[in-house]
Structure 1
Amino acid sequence: MIQVKLFDREHEKDLEKEMNRFLKGIDERKLIDIKYNVAALPEEDEEEQIYCFTAMIIYRS
Structure 2
Amino acid sequence: MVQIRVFDEEHERDLEDAVNDFLKGLSDRDVIDIKYQVGCINDEEEQIYCFSAMVIFRT
TM-score category of the 2 structures, normalised to the smaller one:
over 0.9
Identity %: 56
Q: How far apart, in 1, do the equivalents of 2:12 and 2:36 lie?
A: 11
| Displacement of 1:31 | 0.5
Partner of 2:11: 11
Cα deviation code 1:36-57 (max 9, x no counterpart): 00000012x31x2000000000
TM-score of the pair, normalised by structure 2: 0.96
Q: How far apart, in 1, do the equivalents of 2:49 and 2:57 lie?
A: 26
Q: How far apart, in 1, do the equivalents of 2:58 and 2:20 lie?
A: 17
Over the aligned positions, Cα root-mean-square deviation in angstroms equals 0.7
Partner of 1:59: 57
Q: How far apart, in 2, do the equivalents of 1:52 and 1:17 lie?
A: 15
Q: What residue ranges of structure 2 are gaps of 5+ in the alignment?
A: none
* Structure 1 counterpart of 2:49, one-letter code: Y
Cα deviation code 1:2-60 (max 9, x no counterpart): 000000000000000000000000011011000000000012x31x2000000000000
Q: How far apart, in 2, do the equivalents of 1:5 and 1:11 lie?
A: 18
